[in-house]
Amino acid sequence: MPQATDGVRLFLPETYDIVWSLVILVVIAVAFYKFILPKFQSVFDERAEKIEGGMAKAQKAQEDADAAKRKYEDQLNNARVDAAKIRDDARDEAGSIIADAHKRADAEATQITTNARRSIASQQQQALVSLKGQVGTLATALAGKILGAKLEDGDVQSTMIDSVIDELEQSK
């Protein structure tokens, strides 16, 4: 049965077959382990790095932009607060200025009134004094004319005038 042994021979490896299989396997394995796969791996890594680097860069730019935006917003808020403060201050100041002006005007008005009153009083006094003099003289002259020479004595004259004026003052 030579054919039967042929069938078995299919499953019994020849020495040279194993030798060549091993040689080829080792050659291919060495080539893949040492050259081909590291080469591809380096490119894969480089590509991944590129993509990750790009993404990191984009993220950094985004963060920068966010930070700048935040800064600007902060500045804007500060400016707004400052402006409000300045406005408030100005309003306060204006109010105080107006109040001051009011006060000063009031004071001046009072002063003017007082002065006016005082000058009126003094003028009145003056007028009164001059009136007193004139009225005395006038009345004396009048009375002299009426009475004739009866009132030629100076002492009587002045005493009379003074009593008349006192009456006048009391009646006033």
Our finding on whether 13 is near other proteins (CB under 8 A) is yes
Our finding on whether 32 is near other proteins (CB under 8 A) is yes
* Shortest Cβ 59–other proteins spacing (Å): 22
Which of these segments, 6-14, 68-76, 117-125, 133-141, binds other proteins (CB under 8 A)?
Answer: 6-14
Our finding on whether 25 is near other proteins (CB under 8 A) is yes
Structure tokens at 110: 């009072």
Angle at 20 between CA 26 and CA 22, to 5 degrees: 30
Q: Tell me the CA distances in angstroms from 96 to 65, 79, 99, 113, 163, one per residue in order.
A: 46, 25, 5, 25, 59
Our finding on whether 98 is near other proteins (CB under 8 A) is no
Among 8, 146, 148, 170, binds other proteins (CB under 8 A): 8
Q: Is 14 left (phi over 0), alpha (psi -120 to 50) or beta?
A: beta
Contact 132, 165 (CB under 8 A): yes
Our finding on whether 51 is near other proteins (CB under 8 A) is no
**Residue 79: DSSP 8-state:** H
Phi, psi of 11 (to 5 degrees): -100, 5
Our finding on whether 57 is near other proteins (CB under 8 A) is no
Contact residues: other proteins, CB under 8 A: 1, 3-4, 6-22, 24-25, 27-29, 31-33, 35-37, 39-40, 43-44, 46-47, 50
